[in-house]
């Protein structure tokens, strides 16, 4: 078990700007003028976890992920 905050992350190389994440999780994702996601700063709040999970699962190119924050080496 870990109490490190859960973060949303985009694989920028993989992301194609399909935009499903912004539709499923508008509370945390907006799109830039070219259709690529801009994530809200900070961890995913508890009440949005299930929505965030749905957005992660819906990404057609598997570019969106949710993971516990890890310290840099």
Partner 1 sequence: MSVIAQIERAGLLGRGGAAFRTANKWRAVAERSRGNAVIVVNGAEGEPRSMKDRFVMTQRTELVLDGAFVAARELRANRVVLYIGERHAAARDAMLRAVQGRPERERRLVSVALAPARYVAGAEAAAIHFIDEGIATPVNMPPYPVERGVGGAPTLVQNVETLARVALLARGLPAGGTLITLAGAVASPGVLEVDSETTIGEALAGAGGMSEAPRAILVGGYFGRWMETQDAVAIGLAHGNGLGCGVIGVLPASRCPVCEVAGIMRYLASESSAQCGPCFFGLRALADTCTQIANDVSKPEDLSRLHRWANDVRGRGACKHPDGAAIFLSSALDVFARDFANHRHTHALSRTA
The answer to whether 34 contacts partner 1 (rule: CB under 8 A) is yes
The answer to whether 16 contacts partner 1 (rule: CB under 8 A) is yes
Span 41-70, contacts to partner 1 by CB under 8 A:
70
39 and 27 Cβ atoms separated by less than 8 Å: no
**Total residues contacting partner 1 (rule CB under 8 A)?**
15
Number of H helices, E strands in the chain: 2, 4
Q: Take residue 65 and report the two structure tokens written for it.
A: 């992920």
Binding site for partner 1 (CB under 8 A): 11-13, 15-17, 32-36, 38, 70, 72-73
């Amino acid at each position: 078990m870990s109490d490190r905050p859960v973060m949303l992350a985009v694989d920028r190389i993989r992301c194609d700007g399909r935009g499903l994440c912004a539709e499923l999780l508008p509370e945390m994702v907006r799109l830039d003028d070219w259709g690529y996601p801009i994530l809200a700063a900070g961890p995913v709040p508890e009440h949005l976890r299930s929505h965030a999970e749905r957005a992660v699962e819906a990404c057609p190119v598997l570019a969106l992920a949710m993971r516990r924050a890890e310290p840099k080496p």
